[in-house]
Structure formats: structure tokens, C-alpha cells
Structure 1
């Protein structure tokens, strides 16, 4: 089994490499070793390695910067997946692409299903949706996994930011009117492997098993770090509204994903509280 992985140095890429079966041969690439926006380079890499599976964990994820760096976001989030899909189709390889809850506008009061209408409210969300559509046109057999609020022991993420701020400040103001499900990147990686092995195709939602606000998530991060004695004090956590914390890009106020479809394949949603404990423990070492 031969796997070509993009975005190898990101949260998901690192976690995927940790979990890939020992009998799978993996070529892990980043933006320096493979420019996914260059089709000729993608084609040559795929022809040379001839993978059975391509996993695209590369993405432009700077949500606020995307409002300005629109063309760069589009190149990475649309042209890149399309190029990889074309290359996968040429050799009939499996293809898994990772997308986001930001394809929705957050106006729902119920968890979003794969069949619900999309309506992104940011450039980032719009480019991720356009990327989904482009690769589906090229290679309908591909797997698309939409996920949300990703954290891990790797890279930059909300958990690591909160831990840093907790050591620096006496109080934190955290948005309390945006709700979603934290998701451990290691669990996403495992879901990718399981879905591919089940010969799946199409769009699947995968996220954490319990919905919270950013403030509630912060409460749990701080409580876990305190229990593990990794912070010297517990800062006061104050809930604020989105209006009190303006950003360049709009965020969905509600982005919980319904995971019934992927659950029907025997793949459990992410037990994020347990993963959070393990993740913070690793970060404290």
C-alpha cells in the first residue's frame, strides 16, 4: 500500500503519519517538496511514486488573512485539490480530501448533514467549498471529509494558544456565542484510514462528540491543564459576544456537524475530551 500525503507538516499531516499502518509506504510532502498548485509537478510526483492513495491534508487555513490573500487561498484550496484529483484519476488511485464546517453559514439550529445546503460567509469557506466542487467534477469517487475546530499536540491551534495565554494572563475574554464540536486531528487521521479501507466515496462529516462554545471549550482546556498541574494558576474566563471580538472574516455562529453517515460505517466520532487530556499531557512533557 503506497500513500502520497500532502500537508505533511500540519496538524493532520503529522497525526496521519503517526497512525498510518506499518505496512503502508508513505511519501510525506509539504509545500516545499510538492507545490500542489502546479499540475505538472503534481503529475510528475504521482507518476513517479504511483500511490494507491492520495491524502490531501494541505490547505490555506488562515481564515482572516484569506479575506485579503484571496488568490493564494483559492490556489491552495481550489486549484490544488483539483490538480491532485486529476492526477489520482489518471492512475485510478484513491483520493481523500479534507474540508471544513465553514462551508455552512451557521444559521441552522440542528447539526448539519452532508445533504444540507452550503452557504459560506467567508473567503476561506468559499474557497474550501469551491475546492470540493472542483474535485467532485473531476473525480466523483473521491472521499471528502468535512471537519471542525481541529486541535492536536502539533502546529498552531486553539488549545495551544489558550495554554500559552493562561500562563501569561490573569483573565481571558473568549467568544461564547459560537458553537461547534472540537475535533482531535489524530481521530480525523484514523477516520481517513478507516473510510478508505471501506471503499467509501462522497462527502462525510466527522467531528467531536459533544457541542460547546469557544468559552466552554476554554473552560475545559484550563480545567484539564490545572488538573495535570501544567499551569500555575487558573485565569478567570469571561464569555463575550462575537460583536465584542471583531475579525476580518465572519465565522459561523453554529457549525456542529451531524456524523450519522460516517457512524453508519462503524467509525465513531471524536471523543474530544479524552483526546484533549492526552494532548495536553503530551504538551506538558
Structure 2
């Protein structure tokens, strides 16, 4: 028995997760991908109009304001995109009676816990960005519709601006690089997020959905930004490309406008238990991502 084709509305067009979703979900039905030219997320009425016009079977909000440091001076814009817009999507999805999938972040936590964070741990963002994402989570929950809020961390891909591409460039341009070593988390490939999202959609379509709500979705394992940079450097050396010497430094030696959590580890066991969706180890996913570069 074949499952019916879906009409899926995806907000965001050129972002890392959106690009991966477009590739991963293309054969599930009709994808309505709305970038900035088609949808200004700072205008709630545009969001309402698009959802009511398109009447999708599923909404995926893959758009976000992700300039973490810039958000400290652009509070209003960050909250409009990360908090108000997701709430509008959730209200419209609830009105239509369709699910909403939304992506959030490890930055809703303050990083003071010694072990990986579970979905039940208290939130306490340290930055405007983190606060805006948490406000978005709460706005979605308040709409009381079917939703999945997927918290992820340290997202990278072969597109856009991210740690992987920045490191690949700098490691070949500089003789030495100083990289923060006391922030711990799981680098998560956008391809992994998209693959997991597809698995969740397929389980929902097949009538095997777990409980709706908030889940953690990152690669398995953990490392520091320094460890992530080392892994990227190892790949360059394997290709006989130049690679800078790396020096491990504390966060205090690299001050930024926004404070980052020292512990960004997320416990993803609930997603596996409720939806039977497992994640690859971060090194395995990194190798897959790098293989796509050719």
C-alpha cells in the first residue's frame, strides 16, 4: 500500500537545513519552498496568507535568524523571526489540523549542567538568540496543535556559513589557529537533520507517530570546537592539503558579544524511544558530508 503524496510547505530556501530538506523530501510529494522573496517572516499576515492559500498537509519551519552575535544588537528582528513567526505557523497549522515541524537549539540551555540535557531540564538561555528561540518554542506549544520541536546543535553542511567551511578555508590559509576547547557538544550535519525529519514524517504517515512535543536531535557522541577543527584538519592532511597548527584555548580567551553554553550536549534518547529514529555518530556524519564535497 502506497502512502499518499504530501503537500509540504517549507519556510526558508537557502539555509543549511532547508537545502537538505529539499533534497531529502523531494519524492514525498509537492514541496512549496518559501524563501525571503516569497515570504517575509517579519510580517505575520504574510505567513497567515501563505498557509491559508497553500493549505499544506504539513508545515516545516526551517527558517531562522541564526546570527548569534548579531542578535545581541538586533533583538527585535531576532524575536520577530525566531519567536513570533513560529507561533503564527503553529496557530495556522492548528487551524488546518496539520502538523508543524520546527527546529530549535541547544542555546535554550545555559550549559551549566555536567551531563547531557534532557527535554525536561529547565531552560535558561544566555543570549538574545537563545531567548528568541525559547520564545518560539513556547509560542508553538501555546497553539496546542500537533507539533515537533527538534532541538539540534552545531549545525554544518557544504553550503552557507558554518564552522566546517570556515575551518576548511582558514586551516589552509593560516599557519596557526586558536580554537575554543571548553565548549562541548555534538556537531550535527544538516543532512542528518533532514534524514531524521524524513523518518519522522514517514512514521507519522504510516500511523506510527510517537508523542508530539519537544525532542532533541543531534549526532551521537561529543567533542569540542577544537576537536571538531582537528577532525576537519585530519581530512585536509589525508588529501595532502596544507593544514594550520591548532592551539586549544578557553572561551575566556575568545570573547564574543553573545555568551555560549559550555555544555551543549543533548540527550536524544527520547526521540529514539518515542519515534524509533536514531542518529549517526558525529564523525560518521562528518565523513558522509565530506564525501559529498568530492
TM superposition score category, shorter chain reference: over 0.9
Distance 1:23 1:61 in 2: 28
Matched, 1:135 2:140: yes
Alignment check: 8 A CA contact 2:7 2:57 kept: yes
Partner residue, 2:214: 203
Alignment check: 8 A CA contact 1:226 1:234 kept: yes
Partner residue, 2:97: 92
Partner residue, 2:163: 158
Mark the runs of 5 or more structure 1 residues left unpaired by the alignment. none
Matched, 1:121 2:131: no
Matched, 1:25 2:40: no
The 5 A counterparts of 1:157-196 are: 157-196=162-201
Matched, 1:83 2:75: no
1:239 positional shift: 0.2
Partner residue, 1:220: 231
1:277 positional shift: 1.9
- The 3-state SS of whatever aligns with 1:22 is helix
Alignment check: 8 A CA contact 2:100 2:148 kept: yes
Residue in structure 2 matching 1:266, options 255, 276, 281: 276
Distance 2:100 2:239 in 1: 39
Instruction: Kindly provide the CA deviation profile for residues 9-39 of structure 1, in whole angstroms up to 9, marking residues without a partner as x.
Output: 1000000011005141101111221122322
Alignment check: 8 A CA contact 1:184 1:270 kept: no
- The 3-state SS of whatever aligns with 2:248 is strand
Instruction: Kindly provide the CA deviation profile for residues 52-71 of structure 1, in whole angstroms up to 9, marking residues without a partner as x.
Output: 00000111110000000000
The 5 A counterparts of 1:26-41 are: 26-41=31-46
- Aligned pair count reads 282
1:225 positional shift: 2.4
Matched, 1:236 2:235: no
Partner residue, 1:50: 55
- The 3-state SS of whatever aligns with 1:243 is helix
Partner residue, 1:247: 256
Alignment check: 8 A CA contact 2:184 2:262 kept: yes
- The 3-state SS of whatever aligns with 1:146 is strand
1:244 positional shift: 0.4
Q: TM-score by structure 1 length?
A: 0.95
Mark the runs of 5 or more structure 2 residues left unpaired by the alignment. 1-5
1:140 positional shift: 4.2
Q: Summarize the Cα distance change of 1:23–1:195 in structure 2 as closer, same or farther, 3 Å threshold.
A: closer
Partner residue, 2:106: 101
Distance 2:140 2:276 in 1: 26
